[in-house]
């Protein structure tokens, strides 16, 4: 900060707001991690003679409230320009009425560390597609304008406007428009996603949020019982963690080119401090299953080495004493065990970082975390069956889908109509497949780090789980049992090399037949989706992989593109011409997981 110093007095100042620490998180009440915002900072001075001095945050500081009346990631900001104190952060400001700060002891059992990951930056500015249109659904006395920023973005807006002193402007955000052309906000659930700005009057004013963020394409700017001199000027400011793009892609098919742009846009919008699931509703959480499904695509698109290195620290922090990895990291709710394909992110993500960047440190630094996780899987998987009880004979088949009290989200949002679980594919099959896969990854990690004995141990474990998979879920013909036969079941069995070599061709043929029977449509959910194109290509059926890619009716990658989507949807049928919007309970239009192609 040397270059920022000026001769004479200097001031170090800060603005505090709730943020992740004590604001709203997901659907939960405020103050999940702390009861109020706190600041810990210091200035380290090194003089020419080699002596040093440290100026810390201590009881000598002073505090006051300012124009920022409310600031919450989910609910939005309220900025009252009438309460501004010009020069508050400069030498000579009259702070006689400011209050002493309250100091706190160092937190117990918490290690405070410097930032590990890349900072969030403003990387792009978007202007509306056309002049704003008058809003047609405002409460009585309101007048407002609707702006279309052309793409489903994440960040804030810069608002330039003129109006009378004390006039308050309300900003609301939405990803889509309703059938009547009004702003669609039902899918935000409890997130208000609303900002307010009170003008000080006397000329052009500018407001740009800094302690909230929104996921939106459309912005509604309205005033109550007042008027503005003209329609405000709105600019979208795109935010995301600083993960530079690694290259560009385009091809002769404009829909596929647009799909790639949508994938990148959803990655930017959801890589904001942590890999979140969605940026708009009352969630915005670090779902481990989404991250592991997408991590390979993420590294193809952008430099995510620092981003995932930091998040691996978060995974280690969230690990429970018994070795379990929660479904949400940073952890706030929904139990301690994320279950198959979710908890396995603790191995899949760092292994991908090593494969892409050659970084052994992320493997070496977290090897203890890996071992504890594998010990947990061994301890909670009787007869090497994860999320499925040991059984003997067809009469016990229903037991294979029980989770024994542990989490198992199944093949999330699958569309195969199987009655066995919410996600289609039998949960025990998914669990045991990922158990074998993770054990084999840990064997490979051990080999990379020169731990030969561990490599042998975990390779043997992977083999034992593979054998258990075949006993439980594979018939004498080498194919997955008819009761468990889904696209995802075939994909995992082939991708994780769980079948006898003699059965691989037949399993691939069964997968192709299922796809053909569905008219070249997908039925896989989050779990099978990232692997299906690789499996088909590896089986010599790239023609089927391309048929799936170029499919334009849902469920498919291109359906949303044909409907004007500029990001990846959470559901293939987030909106359809036949039914309109999907359930408001879970219908994000910016979810990167299905972008893993």
CA pair distance 501, 494, nearest whole angstrom: 10
Which residues lie closer than 8 Å to 285 by C-beta, 6 or more apart?
A: 25, 26, 276, 277, 328, 332
Using CA atoms of 488, 494, 495, 498 in order, give the dihedral in degrees to the nearest 10.
110
CA pair distance 324, 48, nearest whole angstrom: 51
Among 470, 472, 444, 449, CA closest to 459: 444
Among 252, 321, 267, CA closest to 297: 267
Among 433, 413, 461, CA closest to 339: 433
Catalytic position from the list 108, 395, 570, 578: 570
Active site residue 570: yes
Q: H or E element: which one contains 530?
A: helix 529-538
Phi, psi of 194 (to 5 degrees): -135, 130
CA pair distance 114, 409, nearest whole angstrom: 34
Give the SS3 label for residue 473.
Answer: helix
How does DSSP assign 81-144, residue by residue? Answer: GGG--TTTTSTT---TTPEEPPP-PPPTT-------SPPEEEEEEE--SSS-EE-SSPPTTEEE
CA pair distance 404, 388, nearest whole angstrom: 7
Among 296, 461, 495, CA closest to 373: 461
DSSP H helix total and E strand total for the chain: 14, 20
Q: Where are the alpha helices (DSSP H) in 211-304?
A: 254-270, 288-301
Catalytic position from the list 283, 395, 399, 505: 283
How many other C-beta atoms lie within 10 A of the C-beta of residue 368? 10
DSSP character at residue 302? B
The set of catalytic residues is 283, 570
């Amino acid at each position: 900060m040397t270059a920022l110093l000026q001769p004479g007095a200097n001031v170090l100042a800060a603005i505090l707001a709730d943020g992740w620490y004590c604001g709203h998180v997901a659907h939960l009440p405020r103050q999940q991690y702390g009861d109020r915002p706190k600041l810990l900072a210091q200035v380290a001075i090194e003089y020419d003679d080699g002596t040093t001095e440290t100026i810390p945050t201590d009881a000598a500081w002073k505090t006051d409230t300012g124009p920022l009346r409310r600031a919450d990631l989910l609910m939005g900001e309220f900025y009252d320009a009438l309460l501004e104190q010009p020069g508050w952060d400069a030498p000579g400001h009259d702070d006689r009425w400011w209050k002493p700060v309250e100091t706190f002891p160092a937190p117990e059992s918490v290690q405070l560390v410097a930032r590990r990951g890349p900072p969030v930056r403003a990387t792009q500015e978007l202007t509306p597609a056309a002049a704003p249109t008058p809003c047609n659904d405002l409460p009585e006395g309101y007048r407002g304008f609707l702006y279309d920023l052309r793409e489903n973005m994440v960040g804030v807006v810069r608002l330039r406007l003129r109006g009378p002193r004390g006039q308050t402007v309300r900003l609301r955000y939405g990803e889509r428009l309703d059938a009547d052309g009004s702003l669609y906000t039902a899918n935000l659930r409890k997130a208000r996603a609303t900002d307010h700005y009170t003008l000080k009057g006397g000329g052009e004013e500018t407001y740009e949020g800094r302690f909230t963020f929104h996921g939106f394409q459309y912005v509604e700017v309205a005033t109550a019982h007042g008027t503005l001199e003209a329609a405000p000027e709105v600019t979208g400011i795109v935010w995301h963690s600083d993960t530079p793009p690694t290259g560009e892609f385009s091809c002769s098919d404009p829909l596929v080119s647009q799909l790639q742009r949508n994938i990148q846009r959803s990655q930017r919008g959801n890589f904001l401090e942590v890999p979140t699931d969605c940026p708009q509703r009352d969630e915005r959480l670090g779902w481990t299953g989404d991250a592991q499904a997408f991590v390979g695509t993420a590294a193809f698109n952008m430099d995510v080495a620092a981003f995932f290195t930091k998040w691996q620290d978060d995974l280690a922090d969230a690990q429970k004493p018994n070795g379990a990895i929660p479904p949400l990291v940073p952890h706030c709710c929904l139990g301690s065990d994320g279950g198959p394909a979710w908890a396995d992110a603790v191995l899949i993500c760092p292994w991908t970082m090593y494969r892409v960047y050659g970084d052994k440190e992320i493997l070496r630094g977290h090897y203890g975390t890996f071992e504890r996780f594998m010990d947990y899987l061994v301890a909670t998987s009787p007869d090497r069956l994860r999320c499925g009880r040991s059984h003997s004979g067809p009469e016990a088949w229903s037991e294979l889908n029980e989770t024994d009290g542990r989490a198992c989200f199944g093949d999330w949002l699958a569309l195969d109509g199987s009655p066995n679980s919410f996600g289609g594919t039998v949960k025990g099959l998914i669990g045991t497949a990922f158990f074998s896969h993770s054990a084999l990854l840990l064997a490979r990690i051990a080999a990379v780090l020169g731990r030969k004995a561990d490599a042998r141990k975990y390779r043997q474990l992977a083999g034992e789980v593979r054998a258990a998979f075949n006993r439980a879920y594979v018939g004498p013909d080498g194919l997955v049992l008819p009761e468990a036969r889904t696209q995802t079941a075939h994909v995992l069995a082939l991708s994780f090399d769980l079948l006898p070599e003699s059965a691989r061709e037949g399993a691939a043929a069964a997968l192709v037949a299922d796809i053909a029977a569905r008219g070249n449509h997908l039925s896989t959910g989050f779990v099978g989706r990232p692997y299906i194109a690789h499996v088909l290509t590896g089986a010599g059926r790239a023609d089927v992989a391309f048929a799936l890619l170029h499919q334009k009716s849902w469920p498919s990658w291109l359906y949303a593109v044909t409907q004007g989507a500029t990001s990846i949807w959470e559901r293939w049928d987030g909106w359809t011409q036949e039914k309109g919007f999907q359930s408001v309970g879970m219908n994000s239009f910016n979810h990167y997981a299905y972008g893993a192609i």
